[in-house]
């Protein structure tokens, strides 16, 4: 059982001991710290926070704890109920709110939940802001509102529809061409809020929808991380229904992956590549992704005369570099599309609309589209952390051993070889070391990853 406090929010497993897991007491403590920080940061008379959740079994309990904590601080709450992470982000700005909280553990299994914290722009807090909240949580200085100054809760269930309207209004979303394409798509909503939002968006675009696991009951039918090995049912449904392609999202709908008409993965890493290809063809410019993302985005960006740069892992890091470089599109190779013309947050709804616009324009199958991009193969492996393991020391030793290669150390250690790369880092969301590699074949990528796993194991025993 685990409680992780990081740049990605307060995340943990439900139940167990206070301080070791995400218990009701921990939820109240960190929601209180966020509310206190928000009031100190904004310095206003009245405050408003938007709160939504994915469909996790623990979500309603967690949301009620968080909302009632905020009103106890004198902060008004807009309750979106079942929602998506990008929908909450959009709602913060439309509500002119002071911040937002999403109750979701993204791709983690059902026993996990988390508080994802947003600022007044609907964007994730940076490391400095997060550290302030953690310090407040451990202090005894939190003051709550008196009875006449309590906040109030207002329910608003319209925001998924409003979010869809915002997506359809984007200049590059070609609604007419998509409607004329008469697409048929299978949607795996992993029994969370993607099963609400994605079919609604597709129907508004004139797409025939086949629903798979779209009942938002929080009983994930498979591991909710949208990877090939978890999506055999989607593959079968795409072939069975003779669909043009399949869509899968994670439980809070900020990650997006596609499956082609043959039931083969388009490649999670290539979601951003394809969307960037479309955006860059209309609005040439620069791109950003994180260090663990495919080189294919660099290749596509340079084809259109732009510049590509990689950030540290973590959405806020990607966003900060996107703003600095004035990029036209960016995101993360895990299927996270960040399109500044919409908002600075990973958004599967935006990704679906851009991808469909690309398909409608090129009038080609999803497998044929994939064949137009450079072939890179990635291996994503991990090592479970054990108490007392000196991760920083291990990574420092790797850095020393490969000092004659091209190294980047802003986030763990990334080693760039001529035809491949390896990125080793401590996860923000799980007690693991991630080992991501990319090469010109799957065998080369897997072999490279296994080499580093063996090397880490040897170092850990020194």
22, 168: one domain: no
Q: What are phi and psi of 168, to 5 degrees?
A: -65, -25
Distance CA 225, CA 137 (A): 30
357, 385: one domain: no
Could you tell me the CATH number of the domain that includes residue 402? 3.30.310.50
Over residues 46-63, the pLDDT tens digits come to 999 999 999 999 999 999
If pLDDT is split at 50, 70 and 90, which confidence band does 443 have? Answer: very high
Distance CA 412, CA 395 (A): 7
Sheet holding 112-118, edge to edge: 3-6, 9-13, 112-118, 99-103, 48-53, 76-82, 153-155
- Which of 353, 370, 387 marks a domain boundary? 370
221, 360: one domain: yes
193, 299: one domain: yes
15, 130: one domain: yes
26, 54: one domain: yes
Over residues 268-326, the pLDDT tens digits come to 999 999 999 999 999 999 999 999 999 999 999 999 999 999 999 989 999 999 999 99
pLDDT, average across residues 118-135: 94
Distance CA 271, CA 84 (A): 19
pLDDT of residue 7: 64
241, 338: one domain: yes
250, 110: one domain: no
pTM value surpassing 0.95: no
260, 339: one domain: yes
pLDDT of residue 387: 77
If pLDDT is split at 50, 70 and 90, which confidence band does 460 have? Answer: confident
How many Å separate Cα 36 from the centre of its chain? 26
221, 351: one domain: yes
If pLDDT is split at 50, 70 and 90, which confidence band does 330 have? Answer: very high
pLDDT, average across residues 3-18: 85
344, 217: one domain: yes
207, 347: one domain: yes
What separation, in Å, do the N-terminal and C-terminal C-alpha atoms of the chain show?
Answer: 28
Distance CA 226, CA 370 (A): 18
Catalytic residue set: 106
pLDDT surpassing 60 at residue 1: no
- Which of 335, 370, 405 marks a domain boundary? 370
Helices and strands (H, E) in the chain, number of each type: 15, 20
- What whole-number percentage of the chain has pLDDT above 90? 88
If pLDDT is split at 50, 70 and 90, which confidence band does 8 have? Answer: low
- Which of 370, 404, 425 marks a domain boundary? 370
Could you tell me the CATH number of the domain that includes residue 24? 3.40.120.10
pLDDT surpassing 60 at residue 462: no
Sign of torsion, CA 385 390 393 394? negative
Domain of 44 in residue numbering reads as 3-157
Domain count, the chain: 3
pLDDT of residue 4: 78
| Burial per residue of 176-211, b for 16 or more beta-carbon CB atoms within 10 angstroms, e otherwise | ebbeebebbbbbbbbbbbbbbbbbbbbebbebebbe
Q: Within 13 Å of residue 242, how many CA atoms lie on the same side as its CB?
A: 0
pLDDT of residue 386: 80
């Amino acid at each position: 059982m685990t409680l992780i406090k990081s740049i990605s929010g307060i995340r943990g497993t439900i139940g167990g001991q206070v301080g070791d897991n995400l218990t009701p007491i921990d939820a109240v403590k960190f929601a209180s710290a966020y509310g206190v920080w928000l009031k100190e940061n904004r310095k206003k008379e009245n405050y408003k926070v938007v709160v939504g959740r994915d469909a996790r079994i623990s979500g309603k309990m967690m949301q009620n704890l968080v909302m009632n904590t905020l009103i106890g601080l004198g902060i008004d709450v807009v309750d979106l109920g079942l929602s998506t992470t990008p929908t909450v982000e959009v709602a913060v700005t439309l509500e002119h709110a002071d911040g937002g909280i999403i109750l979701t553990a993204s791709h983690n299994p059902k026993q996990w939940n988390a508080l994802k914290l947003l600022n007044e722009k609907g964007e994730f807090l940076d490391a400095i802001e997060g550290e302030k909240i953690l310090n407040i949580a451990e202090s005894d200085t939190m003051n709550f509102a008196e009875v006449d100054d309590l906040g109030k809760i207002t329910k608003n269930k319209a925001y998924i529809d409003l979010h869809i309207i915002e997506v359809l209004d984007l200049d590059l979303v070609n609604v007419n061409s998509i409607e004329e394409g008469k697409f048929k798509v299978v949607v795996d909503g992993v029994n969370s809020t993607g099963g609400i939002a994605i079919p609604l968006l597709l129907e508004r675009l004139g797409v025939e929808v086949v629903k798979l696991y779209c009942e938002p009951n929080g009983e994930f039918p498979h591991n909710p991380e949208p990877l090939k090995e978890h999506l055999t049912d989607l593959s079968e449904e795409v072939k069975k229904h003779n669909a043009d392609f399949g869509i899968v999202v994670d439980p809070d709908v900020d990650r997006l992956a596609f499956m082609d008409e043959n039931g083969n993965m388009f490649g999670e890493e290539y979601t951003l590549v394809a969307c960037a290809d479309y955006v860059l063809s209309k609005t040439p410019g620069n791109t950003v992704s994180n260090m663990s993302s495919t080189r294919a985005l660099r290749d596509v960006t340079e084809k259109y005369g732009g510049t590509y740069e990689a950030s540290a892992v973590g959405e806020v890091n990607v966003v900060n570099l996107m703003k600095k470089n004035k990029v036209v599109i960016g995101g993360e190779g895990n299927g996270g599309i960040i399109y500044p013309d919409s908002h600075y947050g990973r958004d599967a709804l935006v990704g679906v609309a851009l991808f469909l616009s690309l398909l409608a324009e090129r009038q080609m199958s999803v497998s044929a589209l994939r064949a137009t991009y450079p072939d890179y193969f990635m291996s994503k492996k991990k090592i479970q952390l054990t108490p007392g393991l000196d991760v920083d020391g291990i990574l420092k030793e790797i850095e020393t051993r490969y000092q004659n290669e091209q190294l980047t150390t802003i986030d763990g250690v990334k080693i760039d070889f001529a035809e491949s790369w390896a990125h080793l880092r401590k996860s923000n969301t799980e007690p693991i070391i991630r080992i991501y590699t990319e090469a010109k074949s799957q065998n080369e990528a897997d072999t490279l990853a296994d080499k580093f796993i063996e090397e880490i194991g040897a170092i850990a025993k020194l």
